[in-house]
Amino acid sequence: MCQNCQKKPVFKLISGESLCKNCFLRYFEKKVRKTIRVHKLIDKKDEIAVAVSGGKDSLTVLDLLCNIYKENKNVRIKALLIDEGIDGYRDASVAHAKKFCKERNIPLEIHSYKKEFGFTLDSVVKGRKPCSVCGVLRRNLLNTHARAMGVKKLATGHNLDDEAQTIIMNQFRKNVEASARLGPLTGIEDHEGFVRRIKPLYFMSEKEIMTYAFLKGIVDDFNECPYNKESYRNQVREMLNQFEELYPGTKHSIVTSFMEVLPLLKQKEKGNGRIKQCQKCGEPSSQDVCQKCIVLQQIKSA
């Protein structure tokens, strides 16, 4: 039974506490509000774009932020969707995102690889690692269009599982600079070329988000990108899921312990002067030529 109200439980926390539907929803929303407040993710007069895909994580963020700030006219919420061109997957999620935003009267901008780059992801991934190509191009479009929208922050649906995976991947690759850019508020310092990203679901597990999205009727289908199985991240994901099953709380420990050293990492990397302008497109980059231009050149040369 639910330990708060003795009703039928729907979810059991890592702590062992069982919660009914209403108590779980309150727990979830309270924890997200705390993340926003403690880590100062949103200011009093912020204009925020939510990077939506039509999936559970991004639509949960969008729904929560709209509900939290519905009475605050100084915080404005918009949605931004990137259509990579993945047959049999993206069309359905785009349609769901459109419907979701229309029902809630949320402004939605949609941009595609096809229009921006002249190709779909499906058409260029043969012989390449799909996630490596997609990640670079997607990040670029999210940043450039969020900046064009004039927003101060870009909210994403990254969760506890995502962050634990990224922390471990960076450790395996000895990528300290990338680790320093992590956290609920990404980046090391403000830069006019970058829109800072915020992660309101930072301390929520994937399982918690799936339960919340289902109970709230946000999504009823939990499809994943078909290219996900081919990624390095998926291997790390499966490894951590195995550890979590054997040792509950593993992912939470990875993220919370990382948060203790994150200020030191940010201080170490702050003011390193690595942000330049890409010689080809003018976008901010840590190299003379940005990763987007490198990927596009590789595709063009193939």
State how beta strands 284-285 and 276-277 pair.
antiparallel
CA distance 135 to 292: 10
- Structure confidence at residue 89 (pLDDT): 87
**Pairwise pLDDT comparison (155 vs 268), residue with the higher score:** 155
H or E element: which one contains 293? helix 291-301
Band the pLDDT of 146: cuts 50, 70, 90.
Answer: very high
Does the pLDDT of residue 3 top 80, yes or no?
Answer: no
The predicted-structure confidence for 164-198, as pLDDT tens digits, reads as follows: 999 999 999 999 989 999 999 998 878 888 999 99
Nearest to 209 by CA among 158, 257, 255: 158
Work out the pLDDT band at 273, boundaries 50, 70, 90. Answer: low
> Helix, strand, coil % (nearest 5) of the chain?
50, 10, 40
- CB neighbour list of residue 67: distance below 8 Å, 6 or more residues apart: 29
Q: How many CB atoms lie within 10 A of CB 123?
A: 13
Amino acid code (one letter) for 1: M
CA gap 249, 266 in Å, rounded: 26
For residue 220, pLDDT beyond 80: no
φ/ψ bin of 118: left (φ > 0), alpha (ψ from -120 to 50), beta (otherwise): left
More confident residue, 290 or 128: 290
Cα–chain center distance at 67: 19
Which tokens go with 92? 């359905």
Residue type, 224: E
Answer whether 74's CB lies under 8 Å from 45's CB: yes
Which neighbouring-strand residues pair with 153? 48, 196
> Percentage of residues in the chain with pLDDT exceeding 90?
75
Instruction: For the chain, give the mean pLDDT.
Output: 92
Question: Could you count the other beta carbons within 10 Å of the beta carbon of residue 196?
Answer: 16
Model confidence over 71-119: pLDDT tens digits?
898 999 999 999 999 998 888 899 999 999 999 999 999 999 999 999 9
- Listing DSSP states for 152-217 in one string gives SEEE----HHHHHHHHHHHHHHT-HHHHHT-SSB-SSS--TT-PEEE-TTTTS-HHHHHHHHHHHT
CATH number, domain 38-271: 3.40.50.620
Q: Distance between CA atoms of 14 and 204, rounded to whole angstroms?
A: 11
Q: Are 155 and 146 in contact (CB under 8 A)?
A: no
